[in-house]
């Protein structure tokens, strides 16, 4: 018996290997088709000694049939199996009884159980049993849909990574924390403390973005994406915090020195200006009537620029408080007209180049008329500014005046 | 007309309105009534529009007007504007209403030494050595100047009248001079008997004054003669117990004029001189100045010794000191010094407007 087994074993092993190569379907294939086959491990049950020599061959034939004609997969490690099929032989020569019982490995739930008779333990005599057993097992353990399994997941992830590296490139943008990246389709990215932001892009394309950071000149970039990873670091030039310049106001072309400081460069500013009739290039007086008294208007306030610093045209609104002085030989004192006044102005600025801009503006003033006792405030001046007297002349709302100017960032 | 056309028209109209309504020209600090320092009180304001085809509109002179009410602050202002051979003059009442009249040029030239009359109008030298009473709307009549001349001679033998002044209290004083001596007499009323002020004449007063001239000097054989001076504005202060006048020398060839302010104390002694230029008297003080410099004119308040007691500031293009009058303050007549302050605003090539503001400053504050 033992000698027969030893003789048969190489042949069975050869058949098994051949069967695996010729008929075996890889689990990968099934996975590709979307279903995973159930896996069966075969073990010998009760085998009467008289059948021991022939039984391994019968068992191998059964495995071959399983691989060839069912959706099952035979595995050779018990722990890999979904189901355990136990095959046994009883009876005696001429009246063999073959039996098969199956159970799920994990929970031990019983599967199909069947028997068959054969007069000889040959392929021809046991074929009916083998086919019957194969069908029973196939029916009992059909392929199952691929669920999340460790193996499948790993392969899927691995495939994706491979495809990414083969078809795209990584763009890395380095910018200071707080930088806003305005991407295509109006997506906005805020650079965090790491100062780095990355994006996978298709190869051989172009990528445009705009980088903005408070206090810096925005940058617009268009990058050619090739086949290699790319790094870009936009240069966000700091905006000037100080600016100086002058306005030309009124038809008298009054030269008004002005300056500003930007707590938030490019956006908020506080500033001041000095307006004086003494700096009028065109006097509104006759040469032989040159006035002995001039006004000095000291203005301070704050403003806000709309838009972005790289825009050519920008609009600003500003509010100012002003005090006015009378200045003449031997005289320097608060003026009676516009002793204190509030001003509102709007400026439309055009950036000529980097730090130089010119603008036109309009301003209006609400002036306090501090008329001396006995003087009609509506006639305080020989030529009152055009406007509307309010509160019995205590205040005067001046109609707007237009002006132009230039500023240079220091 | 479609909607686009209408909207364009509206926009154009709005722009045109904005331009016409906007302030194209810079503001001009030409005050109609400039603020003065604390203590000044604005009494009246008058606006005069003058043509400037030939002469620049300016104040030629001003003098307070007398009235039946002694403490009126009506005043007469003469402009540098000819109206035929005469000059344009206005009498401005307490409410600021101006009445036009014309004034002979000889009076206009001597307004610097004119004084208010206690009847109505003012007293002014007529260039003929006489003083006329100029009455607004009435004409001119001579004051009894001959009587005054005679009275002056009673103080100094052969004296001439160097000046006459009238105070707010109705007292007159006159200045007589002869042979280098000076004497001050008082009259009440004008034309009445003259009384010597002080212990006696200021013997040798004129040479003493002449010696203080800095530019137009001589040693006796010069152009003017050793004892020669011209007499200018004359005034006096009863409260301060002194008289004052302007001693003047003029070199018409070189176009040089030099003036000395002279104070003659009632108590006698040597005349006191100063280079300041007197404007008039207020209380116990002389109102004077050194130069007019707009817009802030410095006015000096001098005591009888011609020392500077205090300074005032008058803000305006020009000003004139009118004299002293009582104002009713808390129902009490209170002496005030009256200043006429002018501001000027040119309207076009030929027209200007003058704002004349009468300010009062309490004499007690001087």
- Give B278-328 pLDDT, tens digit per residue: 999 999 999 999 999 889 999 999 999 999 999 999 999 999 998 888 888
**Out of A306-310, A333-337, A393-397, B135-139, least confident range:** B135-139
Q: First vs last Cα of chain A: how many Å apart?
A: 106
When pLDDT is cut at 50, 70 and 90, the band that residue A17 belongs to is very low
**Out of A18-32, A40-54, A84-98, B176-190, least confident range:** A18-32
Q: In this complex, which of B26, B45, B298 lies closest to A330 when CB atoms are compared?
A: B298
Contact B265, B198 (CB under 8 A): yes
- Give A322-343 pLDDT, tens digit per residue: 999 999 998 999 999 999 999 9
CB contact under 8 A, A329 and B31: no
Q: Is the peptide bond before A88 cis (omega within 30 degrees of 0)?
A: no
Q: In this complex, which of A249, A400, A402 lies closest to B26 when CB atoms are compared?
A: A249
Higher pLDDT, B69 or A288: A288
* Residue A85 pLDDT exceeds 80: yes
- State the ipTM, two decimals: 0.83
Asked if A291 has any chain B CB less than 8 Å from its own CB, the reply is: yes
Q: Which residue in A282, A289, A332 has the most chain B C-beta atoms within 10 A of its own C-beta, making it the best mutation to test that interface?
A: A289
CB contact under 8 A, B28 and A329: no
Name every residue whose Cβ is closer than 8 Å to that of residue B67 and which is 6 or more positions away in sequence. B74, B120
User: What angle (nearest 5°) sits at the alpha carbon of residue A58, between those of residues A57 and A64?
Assistant: 90
Distance of CA A363 to the CA centre of its chain: 44
Asked if B294 has any chain A CB less than 8 Å from its own CB, the reply is: yes
pLDDT at B226: 64
| Residue numbers of A between 373 and 402 with CB closer than 8 Å to B | 373-375, 379-383, 385-387, 398-402
How many C-beta atoms surround the C-beta of residue A51 within 10 A?
A: 22
Give contacts of B315 with chain A, Cβ < 8 Å. 331
Contact A119, A94 (CB under 8 A): yes
- Give B198-257 pLDDT, tens digit per residue: 888 898 899 899 889 888 886 555 556 667 888 888 889 988 999 999 999 888 888 888
Rg (CA), chain A: 48
* Residue A275 pLDDT exceeds 80: yes
Question: Which class for B286: exposed (0-12), middle (13-18), buried (19 or more C-beta within 10 A)?
Answer: buried
Contact A221, A232 (CB under 8 A): yes
Question: Which class for B259: exposed (0-12), middle (13-18), buried (19 or more C-beta within 10 A)?
Answer: buried
Asked if B42 has any chain A CB less than 8 Å from its own CB, the reply is: yes
- Secondary structure of A285-336 in the HEC alphabet? CCHHHCCCEEEEEEEEEEEEECCCCCCCEEEEEEEEEEEEEEEECCEEEECC
Looking at CA atoms only, how far is residue B298 from chain A in angstroms? Answer: 9
Asked if A334 has any chain B CB less than 8 Å from its own CB, the reply is: no
Give contacts of A372 with chain B, Cβ < 8 Å. 33, 35-36, 42
CB contact under 8 A, B23 and A401: yes
Looking at CA atoms only, how far is residue A173 from chain B in angstroms? Answer: 48
Q: In this complex, which of B22, B30, B41 lies closest to A399 when CB atoms are compared?
A: B22
* Residue B336 pLDDT exceeds 70: yes
Residue of B nearest to A256 (CA): B26
Give contacts of A322 with chain B, Cβ < 8 Å. none
Distance of CA A293 to the CA centre of its chain: 65
Strand partners, B183: B176
Listed residue (A133, A103, A102) closest to A116, CA to CA: A133
**Residue B253 in tokens:** 């060839």
As a whole number, mean pLDDT of residues B47-51 equals: 91
């Amino acid at each position: 018996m033992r000698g027969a087994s030893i003789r048969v074993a190489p042949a069975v092993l050869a058949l098994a290997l051949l069967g695996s190569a010729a008929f075996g379907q890889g689990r990968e294939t099934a996975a590709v088709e979307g279903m995973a086959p159930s896996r069966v491990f075969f073990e010998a049950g009760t085998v009467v000694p008289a059948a021991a020599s022939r039984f391994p061959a019968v068992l191998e034939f059964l495995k071959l049939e399983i691989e060839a004609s069912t959706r099952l997969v035979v595995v050779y490690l018990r722990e890999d199996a979904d189901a355990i099929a136990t095959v046994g032989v009883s009876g005696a020569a001429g009246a063999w009884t073959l039996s098969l019982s199956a159970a799920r490995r994990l929970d031990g739930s019983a599967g199909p159980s069947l028997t068959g008779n054969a007069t000889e333990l040959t392929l021809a005599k046991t074929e009916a049993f083998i086919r019957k057993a194969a069908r029973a097992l196939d029916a009992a353990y059909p392929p199952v849909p691929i669920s999340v399994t460790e193996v499948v997941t790993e392969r899927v992830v691995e495939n994706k990574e491979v495809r990414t590296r083969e078809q795209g490139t990584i763009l890395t943008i380095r910018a200071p924390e707080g930088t806003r990246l305005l991407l295509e389709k109006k997506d906005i990215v805020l650079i965090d403390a790491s100062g780095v932001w990355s994006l996978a892009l298709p190869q051989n394309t172009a990528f445009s973005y705009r980088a903005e950071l408070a206090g810096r000149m925005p940058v617009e970039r268009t990058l050619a994406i090739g086949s290699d990873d790319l790094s870009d670091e936009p240069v966000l030039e700091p905006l000037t915090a100080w600016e100086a310049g002058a306005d030309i106001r009124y038809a008298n072309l009054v030269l008004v020195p002005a300056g500003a400081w930007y707590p938030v460069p490019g956006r908020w500013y506080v500033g001041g200006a000095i307006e004086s009739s003494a700096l009028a290039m065109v006097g509104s007086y006759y040469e032989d009537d040159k006035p002995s008294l001039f006004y000095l208007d000291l203005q301070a306030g704050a403003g806000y620029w709309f838009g972005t610093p790289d825009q050519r045209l920008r609009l600003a609104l500003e509010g100012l408080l002003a005090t006015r002085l009378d200045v003449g030989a031997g005289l320097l004192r608060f003026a009676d007209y516009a002793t204190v006044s509030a001003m509102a102005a709007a400026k439309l600025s055009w950036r000529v180049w980097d730090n130089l801009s010119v603008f036109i503006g309009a301003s209006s003033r609400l002036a306090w008329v501090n008329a001396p006792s006995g003087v009609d405030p509506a006639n305080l001046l020989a030529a009152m500014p055009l406007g509307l007297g309010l509160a019995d002349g205590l205040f005067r709302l001046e109609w707007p005046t237009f002006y132009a100017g230039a500023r240079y960032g220091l | 007309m479609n909607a686009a056309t209408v909207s364009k028209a509206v926009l154009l109209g709005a722009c045109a309105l904005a331009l016409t309504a906007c302030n194209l020209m810079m503001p001009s600090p030409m005050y109609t009534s400039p603020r003065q320092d604390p203590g000044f009180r604005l009494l009246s304001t008058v606006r005069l529009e003058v043509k400037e085809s030939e002469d620049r509109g300016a104040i030629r002179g001003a003098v307070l007007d007398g009235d039946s009410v002694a403490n009126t602050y009506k005043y007469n202002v003469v402009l540098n504007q000819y109206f035929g051979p005469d000059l344009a003059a206005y009498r401005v009442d307490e409410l600021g209403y101006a009445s036009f009249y014309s004034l002979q040029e000889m009076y206009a030239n001597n307004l610097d030494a004119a004084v208010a009359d206690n009847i109505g109008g003012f007293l002014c030298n007529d260039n003929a050595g006489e003083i006329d009473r100029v009455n607004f709307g009435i004409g001119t009549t001579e004051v009894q100047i001959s009587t005054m001349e005679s009275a002056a001679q009673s103080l100094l033998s052969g004296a001439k009248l160097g000046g006459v002044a009238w105070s707010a209290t109705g007292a007159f004083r006159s200045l007589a001079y002869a042979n280098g001596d000076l004497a001050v007499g008082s009259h009440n009323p004008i034309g009445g008997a003259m009384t010597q002020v002080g212990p006696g004449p200021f013997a040798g007063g004129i040479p003493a004054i002449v010696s203080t001239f800095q530019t137009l000097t001589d040693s006796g054989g010069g152009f003017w003669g050793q004892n020669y001076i011209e007499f200018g504005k004359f005034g006096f202060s009863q409260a301060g117990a002194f008289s004052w006048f302007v001693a003047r020398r003029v070199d018409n060839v070189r176009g040089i004029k030099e003036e000395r302010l002279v104070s003659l104390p009632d108590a006698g002694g040597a005349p006191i001189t100063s280079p300041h230029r007197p404007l008039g008297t207020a209380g116990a003080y002389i109102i004077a100045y050194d130069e007019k410099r707009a817009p802030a004119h410095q006015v000096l308040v001098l005591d009888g010794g011609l020392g500077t007691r205090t300074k005032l500031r008058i803000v305006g293009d020009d000003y004139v000191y009118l004299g002293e009058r009582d104002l009713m303050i808390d129902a009490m007549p209170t002496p005030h010094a009256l200043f006429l302050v002018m501001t000027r605003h040119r309207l076009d090539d030929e027209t200007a407007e003058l704002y004349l503001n009468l300010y009062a400053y309490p004499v007690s504050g001087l």
